[in-house]
Structure 1
Amino acid sequence: MARRVSTPSSPKKRALPPIGWVVIVALVLLIGGGIWYVNRLNTNEWRHVSKIGIRLPFKYSIHGIDVSKHNGRINWQELRQMRFEELRLQFVFIKATEGASLTDKDFKNNWKQADGVGLYRGAYHFYIPWRTPESQFENFKRSVKLKKGDLPPVLDFELGTNALSQEQVIANLKTWLTLAENYYGVRPIIYTNADFYRRYIKENFVGYPLWIADYSGWTLNRYDDAVIHFWQHSKSGYTDGIRGPVDYNVFLGEVEDLKALCLK
């Protein structure tokens, strides 16, 4: 007679202890909260673009760069023809002058070439706070002739000084901006960073178009009610036609808004 083989009983599954459930729930909440937080921050629809090596805020469709002699010789045709994610560069700010006497050696050629390939173009002056605003504006005026369709002149204010008080710096900035507005017939754009915006610009230059350099975050919420037109969000992008990295900017509006900002 065959012997009956007994089947070993399956081991009983141990119930997950309460601390285990606490850990699981905490992980789910942490992951879900992280996803919610990232999506909340990503209101500007940032996405990495391998073609140019940086992320872009795809909430906005008008992207551009700023250049100076430090970018070397530029192939403007290649730059204009480049496409990335069905977009292309549409505007450029070009350094014209610095202080009371310096002129960017590539300005004249860059200014002409940018116009030739159909980019919206703007010229900027690198402001030296310990030089007189009158002499600095004369330097800019000698080099920059604007025409209909050009962007307003730009005052690049990112250099500090201990030689003047805050009140004196503000007064001199107002002098340069007033001279430029009277001469060109349009209110200039102020380029600055977060620190200088809070210290000098916020309470003193209401109504001026702002171009903010800020690489620190996903949004510009910390600028309160400031009317910001341009955002320089990266200094390490790439483009066809330029060797090495270049500053990337975005216009915070539509094409009609950009055209309205230009000289009439």
Structure 2
Amino acid sequence: MAVAPPSQETTNSITRSSGPVPSAEVGNAAAQVTSQQQQAQAWTEPDPRPQAFLPTAKTDSVPIPSEKPVALLMPVNPVISAAPQTRMQIYSRRFRDAKPINFGSSSPRKLAVHGVDVSRWQGEIDWEKLQTQGANFVYLKATDGGDHLDPMFKKNWRRAKEAGLKRGAYHFFYWCRTAGEQADWFIRNVPREAGALPPVIDVEWNGESSCKRKPSREHVLEKMKVFMDRLERYYGQRPIIYTAPDFYRDNLRGEFADYPFWLRSVAAHPSQVYPGRKWLFWQYSGSGLTHGVEGRIDLNAFHGSEEEWHNWLARSN
């Protein structure tokens, strides 16, 4: 069987924006030495059991079995604390795109709740202005591996909350560090707060990384499960899995059916790129343009109506 070519899709974790970038150092020399010494421990985590495969959720235009949106099907998560629940205002999508795609009748514009994800490459952000353009939620780059912290994370975490956006944090998984080390690093740097969105594990093949290792499917699933279990115990929320087409094809097809997925699909509807996979978020563009940010930004949409968004938020906290 012919092997499909590697995906050309990347995220802002590994792609430099055209906007201004604040200078900062990440990690340190001692941490880098530690990273090299601990690479040999990368396969020490316990073996998880693969999850069963489930049919896909309903979309606007693709003729697939009818069922409720995935937002209604995810498992209920434990509560961190009894924070009062108030419904947020939903802002309509006003983003533009430097490389617009015609998705036809399955356009993400038909989805009610849009948001963005950002890292240091977006530089200084006017959060209030960004929100009015349709950023109802944001995922912030927090950590890489076991010793890198995005230098804008703490400021973005605070400012996004002050502006009223629902925000969460994501971790870019590094295949040359143990899952336990990476979970501990994320927990050390990302606050456990009522009202925050569930944490995200970003799993991709990254050709720009200093780690050239491509573990077997078995070891990929093993390491992911250890990391996700640790975060779920600490935050009381089931983590969301973000991935791209080539990594999904190699490792995740048919796996982790009881986890929410955030899928990158910038040229077609997720049902065409990830057949049979339920999804919670769709990253439909890596070339978004908007007031409040200089340069390009990733655009995302929630799989459900406004009502389903509010219901999902209530169950996630």
TM-score (norm 1): 0.75
Counterpart secondary structure, 2:243: strand
| Corresponding residue pairs, total | 215
C-alpha distance after superposition, 1:45-98 (max 9, x if no partner): xxxx9851346622201111100001111111221233xxxxx22111100111
CA gap of 1:51–1:171, structure 2 versus 1, over 3 A, is closer
Alpha carbons of structure 1 residues 196 and 261: separation in structure 2 relative to 1, 3 Å = farther
Q: CA deviation at 1:256?
A: 3.5
Question: Normalising by the residue count of structure 2, what TM-score does the alignment of the two structures yield?
Answer: 0.63
Residues 110/220 of structure 1: CA separation in 2 closer, same or farther (3 Å cut): same
- Decide which of 228, 232, 238 is 1:177's aligned counterpart: 228
Q: Which residue of structure 1 aligns with residue 237 of structure 2?
A: 186
Measured against aligned partners, the alpha-carbon deviations of 1:192-251 in whole angstroms (never above 9, x if no partner) come to 011222222222311110000111214523423321010101111111110001001111
Partner in structure 2 of residue 52 of structure 1: 96
Query: Aligned residue for 1:239?
Result: 290
| % identical aligned pairs | 38
C-alpha contact (below 8 Å) 2:285/2:300 kept by paired residues? yes
Aligned 8 A contact 2:176 2:213 in 1: no
Q: Which residue of 1 aligns with 2:249?
A: 198
Q: Point out the structure with max Rg over C-alpha.
A: 1
**Which structure features the higher share of strand residues?**
1
Match of 2:215 in 1: 164
**Structure 1: stretches of 5+ with no match in the other structure:** 1-40, 83-87
- 2:186 corresponds in structure 1 to 140
Q: Which runs of 5+ in 2 are unaligned?
A: 1-58, 63-92, 102-106, 207-211
Q: CA deviation at 1:42?
A: 8.0
Structure 2 counterparts to residues 107-126 of structure 1, below 5 A: 107-126=153-172
Q: Is the 8 A contact 2:271 2:277 kept in 1?
A: no
The residue aligned with 1:43 is: 61
Cα drift, residue 152 of structure 1: 0.4
Are 2:118 and 2:141, in contact at CA under 8 Å, matched by a contact in 1? yes
Equivalent position SS for 1:152: coil
C-alpha change, 1:203 and 1:153, in structure 2 (3 Å) is: same
Q: Quick check: which one's helix share is greater? A: 1
Aligned to 2:268: 217
Find the residue that maps to 1:111 and give its secondary structure: helix
Moved more, 161-170 or 122-131: 161-170
